[in-house]
């Protein structure tokens, strides 16, 4: 399964993904209602980012992506970068991945599962960004 090559590559992809995802106002409004802060702790390569739906960003927006944030998350999700890639393309059965230890969750499972149904429409955005970045080999 294809993984990211570097932290810089992931940073570039996720920043561009989040800009494009933020254009989906209806989805962002639903996610903002959750008022949750989720930290993604990724390995191989190591990369951490937090999505904050609780506190307004610098321009008053809700749903900011912050790298190496010091905001205390309600949910922390750990996975390897190849699993993260699969997840954001909607190709990962999260329940099975958790059972097999490919995804570890710290925090409210109920809140995490509630977010899953809301972010599904964003799964189509991630492969678009991979393609734009010349990472066609990572599209599943």
Which of the 8 DSSP states describes residue 102? S
Cα 31 to Cα 33: distance, rounded to the nearest angstrom: 5
Distance set, CA 40 to CA 26, 52, 65, 77 (Å): 23, 11, 10, 5
Do 36 and 111 touch, CB atoms closer than 8 A?
A: yes
Domain ranges for the chain: 7-130
pLDDT tens string for the chain (140 positions)?
A: 688 999 999 999 999 999 999 999 899 889 989 999 999 999 999 999 999 999 888 888 888 999 988 899 999 999 999 999 999 999 999 889 999 999 999 998 888 888 888 999 999 999 999 999 999 999 99
Do 67 and 98 touch, CB atoms closer than 8 A?
A: no
The residues, any chain, with a CB within 8 Å of residue 2's CB and separated by 6 or more, are 82, 85, 137, 138, 140
pLDDT for position 16: 96
- Preceding omega of 75 cis (within 30 degrees of 0): no
Check whether domain 7-130 has CATH 3.40.50.2300, yes or no: no
Do 51 and 38 touch, CB atoms closer than 8 A?
A: yes
pLDDT for position 101: 95
pLDDT for position 62: 80
pLDDT for position 1: 63
Cα 42 to Cα 51: distance, rounded to the nearest angstrom: 14
Predicted structure pTM score? 0.90
């Amino acid at each position: 399964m294809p993984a990211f090559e570097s932290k810089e590559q992931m940073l570039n992809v996720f920043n561009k993904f989040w800009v494009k995802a933020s254009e989906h106002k209806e989805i962002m409004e639903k996610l903002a209602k959750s008022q949750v802060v989720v930290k993604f702790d990724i390995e191989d390569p190591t990369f951490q980012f937090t999505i904050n739906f609780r506190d307004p960003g610098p321009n008053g927006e809700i749903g900011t992506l912050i790298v190496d944030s010091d905001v205390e998350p309600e949910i922390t999700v750990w996975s390897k970068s190849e699993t993260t890639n699969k997840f954001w393309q909607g190709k990962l059965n999260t329940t099975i991945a958790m059972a097999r230890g490919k995804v570890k969750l710290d925090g409210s499972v109920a809140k995490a599962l509630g977010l899953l149904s809301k972010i599904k429409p964003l799964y189509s955005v991630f492969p678009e960004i991979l393609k734009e970045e010349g990472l066609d080999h990572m599209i599943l």
